[in-house]
Structure 1
Amino acid sequence: MLQGEVNVTFGWIWILVGLVVGMILGLKAEGEHWLGGYSSLTRRYLRLGHIAFIALAIINILYGKELVSASLSDTSKNLGSFLMIFGAAGVPIACLTAAFWRKAKYLLPLSATSLLIGVFIIVVGLVKP
């Protein structure tokens, strides 16, 4: 695969996964008191995980399309690509896990930091002359 294509492919697959997760949650979301009610931490983590699947997938698609034109070494492009996929996979999985096992929330900074570094890499490559 060409640089960036893996992010685009991952993004579309992750959108599909996010939509399936959303359908499952939607089918189960019966009544105001499901999983402790709308404002419960469990339900908030599930909602955050669901939207993270889709939002971070879209960012990966955009990232993959921009990576081709970025003024970066192949090593930097590969690192940024990996970090974006790692973060996009890690955030929703950590959120869904934290909904039922609270200590999983400590995995979120690792995934978020990989996204932050990945975005920093692409910004450097796009603003570089």
Structure 2
Amino acid sequence: MQPTFAEWNLWTGWAATLAGVISGAVIGLFFQREEWLGGYSSYRRRLLRLGHISFFGLGFTNILFGLTGRVLVTVPGIAAVLMIASAITMPICCFLAAWRTRFRILFPLPVISATAGIVMLLMNWRAQ
């Protein structure tokens, strides 16, 4: 049987949560080094933390999206895909921008994806 969009969002959410735990463990190996990546408040270190936290934030958002999709009559497939895209692209954008600042230009991609996905879900919910 084909997985539904809601199931894909649930799977993505839990996979992102696992990635958040793993990335946090890796980053945590170096937390005791005061000047690691330029110090706690450095741009690079802040973006690594943001990437790590975005796994959890957008992972949980995908879980909520998937659970909501189970109670609605229909959920636009494009909205589900946009939510999955946001969970994948936000941490990538954060880690790339931590590595090279020129990658900051990519941040609108996950932001627009998440915003559009949530707006589509809400509009569809309201229409039902």
User: TM-score normalized by structure 1?
Assistant: 0.92
Alignment of 1:40-119 (within 5 A): 40-72=42-74, 77-119=76-118
2:113 and 2:8 map into 1 onto residues whose CA distance is 17
How many residue pairs end up in the alignment?
Answer: 126
CA drift of 1:8 comes to 0.1
8 Å CA contact 1:67, 1:77 repeated in 2 = no
Unaligned 5+ residue runs, structure 2? none
User: TM-score normalized by structure 2?
Assistant: 0.92
Q: SS state of the match for residue 38, structure 1?
A: coil
Unaligned 5+ residue runs, structure 1? none
Residues 42-96 of structure 1: per-residue CA shift (max 9 Å, x gap):
0000000000011100000000111233354xxx621001000101110111101
Which deviates more, 30-39 or 46-55? 30-39
Give structure 1 regions of 4+ aligned residues with deviation exceeding 4 angstroms: none
1:113 and 1:50 map into 2 onto residues whose CA distance is 20
> Match for 1:98: what amino acid?
A
State the partner residue of 2:31.
Answer: 29
2:91 and 2:85 map into 1 onto residues whose CA distance is 11
